[in-house]
Amino acid sequence: LSLYSSPARETKYVENPQTQLEEGVSRLRHVMEPYTAWCQVLLIGTCKNLFYKALCSDFFSEGFEFLQNPPAGFYPRLGVIGFAGIVGLFLARGSKIKKIVYPVGLMGIGASMYYPQQAVAIAKVAGSQLYDWSLQGYITVESLWKEN
Which pLDDT tens digit goes with each residue over 110-135? 999 999 999 899 989 999 999 999 99
Which of the listed ranges 11-15, 48-52, 106-110 does the model predict with the highest average pLDDT? 106-110
Residues 94 and 102: their CA atoms lie apart, in Å, by 11
Q: Is the distance from CB of 109 to CB of 81 less than 8 angstroms?
A: no
Residues 99 and 105: their CA atoms lie apart, in Å, by 10
The arithmetic mean of pLDDT across residues 46-69, rounded, is: 78
Maximum CA extent, the chain: 91
Residues 51 and 62: their CA atoms lie apart, in Å, by 17
pTM of the complete model: 0.49
